[in-house]
Amino acid sequence: MGLIVQKFGGTSVADAERIHRAANRAIAAAEKGNQVVVVVSAMGETTDELIRLAREVCKDCVPPKREMDQLLVTGEQVTIALMAMAIHAQGKEAISFTGGQIGLVTDNAFSKARIQSINKQRIFEQLEGGKIVIIAGFQGITPEGDVTTLGRGGSNATLVAIGAVLEADVCENYTDVDGIYTADPRIVKKARKIDRISYDEMLELSGLGASVLQTRAVEFAKKYNVPIHVRNSQNDNPGTWIVAETPNMEHIVVSGAALKKDLIRVGIKNVPDHPGIAATIFGDIASANIVVDDIIQNVMDDNTANISFTVEHGDLDDIKPVVDRITKALGPGTKAAYVSDLAKVSVVGVGMRTHTGVAQRMFKALADAKVNIQNITTSEIKISCIISREDGPKALQIVHDAFELEKAKT
C-alpha cells in the first residue's frame, strides 16, 4: 500500500482501447490499496499535429509562443477527460484536473516554462475521498492565469514534480518500450534493456538524445530523490529503475550510447577578445531560454576570437534574432554563420571516472567506419562527437558495437 503516480505517454493513450488499458492499470493499482494519481500526455501524435496546424495558419510568421501554448494544452485536456470516463466505465471513481486546476504554477517562459509550485491539497482531498486523480501532463499556469507548457516531453516533468510534492512511493513512467536501453532500440536492434541506471547517467543520456525521458524531469527526480520506474504500457515486464548511484555501478564503464539527430552549429567570427564578451553573448542566449552545447572558443593572433556552439534545429527561429543582435552590437567585422545537418553521438557511463581509454576506443571505431568527427566534447561521465546528420544512425550502431553494450556486464 502506498501512493503511486503513473504517467502514460502519447502512444500509451493513442486510442480508446489503449485508454481503457491504461485505465485498467490505474484501477489495478488502486484495488491493491494504493492511492493512485495518473498523469497523461496528449493522444498519439496530437501535439505534433497541433504544431503542424499552427504552422499552416501562421505560414510566414513564427506563431506567438503564448498562443502556441494555448493551443498545445488542449491535447492533454482531451486525454484527462477520456481517461476519467474510462475509469467511470469500470464503475470506479476518478476526477480529472488541468494543470491550472491543481495550481501547477510556472514562470511565464511560454513553451519551456518551469514549475514553481503545485497545490497538493486539492489532489490529496480527492485521493482521500477514494478517487483516482487524473492530471494533464505538460501544462501549467502562470501567476497571472495564462496557460504554459513545459517543453516537449514535458509530461515527464509533471510526473516527477507530482511525485515529489506528494512524496510518492514510486513514479511509474509507462511508454512504448520495455525500459531504458543501451541505445534507442528503434535504431540499434541489439540494444539491451538496462535494469537500473543512475540519475546522472540518465541525465546525460536524456540531454544527449535519449528522448524517452525529458532531461528536466530527471534533474527534478535527482534533486528530490524520486525513484522512476520506466515500463512498457503494453506488457507487465519489469522495466528500468532510475535511482541514486550505488558503488557497484562504477564497474560498468559505458552504460549507454545516444544520438541527437538534428543540430545546427552557430559560428560567430571576429569577436573582440575582451573579458566578459562570452558572458554577454551566452547571457543573452540564456535569457532567450535557448540551451546551447559544445561551446568552442579559439583566440586568433589579431586579438579576435571565433566562438561556435550547437543548438537543436528547432531552436533556429529563436536563436537567429539573438545572434543577429549580438553580431550587430559587436561591430561590422563580426559575422555569424550557421551549419545545419549535424548530429551528435555520445557514450555515457559513471565508470568513465575511473577508467581510461574510452575516448580512444570511440574515436577509433568511428574512424574505422569512415565517420568524420567534427567536434569533440567531454565531461567526466560522457564523450560526445559532432558528426554529419546522415552518419548519425550508423555512428550510434558503431559505438554500440565498439563497447559491446549488448552484453550484460556485472
- Residue ranges in contact with Mg ion by CB under 5 A: 9, 153
140 binds ligand ASP (CB under 6 A): no
Instruction: Single out the segment in contact with ligand ADP by CB under 6 A; choices: 176-184, 263-271, 328-336, 352-360.
Output: 176-184
Distance CA 216, CA 362 (A): 28
Element (H, E) at 324: helix 316-330
- Does residue 54 interact with ligand ASP by CB under 6 A? no
Task: Tell me how far apart the alpha carbons of residues 284 and 289 are, in angstroms, rounded to a whole number.
Answer: 9
Out of 6, 8, 9, 344, name the contact with ligand ASP by CB under 6 A: 9
Q: How far is the CB of 106 from ligand ADP (least distance, A)?
A: 20
From residue 242, alpha-carbon distances to 8, 44, 49 in Å are: 17, 25, 31
252 scored as a contact of ligand ADP (CB under 6 A): no
CB of 38 to ligand ADP, least distance (A): 14
- Give the nearest distance from C-beta 276 to ligand ADP in angstroms: 39
Strand order, beta sheet including 170-175: 94-97, 132-136, 35-40, 3-8, 170-175, 228-232, 240-243, 196-198
- Per CB under 6 A, the list member of 43, 72, 210, 347 interacting with ligand ADP is 210
Q: Is residue 212 involved in binding ligand ADP (CB under 6 A)?
A: yes
The HSE-up count of residue 48 (CA atoms within 13 Å, CB side) is 6
Distance CA 137, CA 127 (A): 18
Question: Is position 75 an interface residue for ligand ASP (rule: CB under 6 A)?
Answer: yes
User: Least distance from C-beta 234 to ligand ADP, angstroms?
Assistant: 11
41 binds ligand ASP (CB under 6 A): yes
Q: Which stretch binds ligand ADP (CB under 6 A): 178-186, 278-286, 377-385, 397-405?
A: 178-186
- Selected binder of ligand ASP within 99, 100, 140, 154 (CB under 6 A): 154
> In the complex with ligand ASP, which residue's Cβ is closer, 219 or 401?
219
HEC letters along 30-97: HHCCCEEEEEECCCCCHHHHHHHHHHHHCCCCCCCHHHHHHHHHHHHHHHHHHHHHHHHHCCCCEEEE
- The grid cell for 169 is 512511493
Q: 212 touches which of ligand ASP, ligand ADP, Mg ion, none (CB within 5 to 8 A by kind)?
A: ligand ADP
Q: Give the three-class secondary structure for 175.
A: strand
Single-letter residue type at 357: G
Q: For residue 373, what is the DSSP state?
A: P
Please tell me whether residue 184 binds ligand ADP under the rule CB under 6 A. yes
Residue whose beta carbon is closest to ligand ADP: 9
Question: What would the grid cell of residue 3 be?
Answer: 501512493
Crossing angle for the helix pair 155-166 and 120-128, to the nearest 10 degrees: 70
Quick one: what does residue 184 bind among ligand ASP, Mg ion, ligand ADP, none, with the CB cut-off 5 to 8 Å set by partner type? ligand ADP
Question: By the criterion CB under 6 A, which residues form the site for ligand ASP?
Answer: 9-10, 41-42, 47, 75, 137-138, 152-156
Question: By the criterion CB under 6 A, which residues form the site for ligand ADP?
Answer: 9-12, 41, 153, 175-177, 180-181, 183-186, 210-212, 256
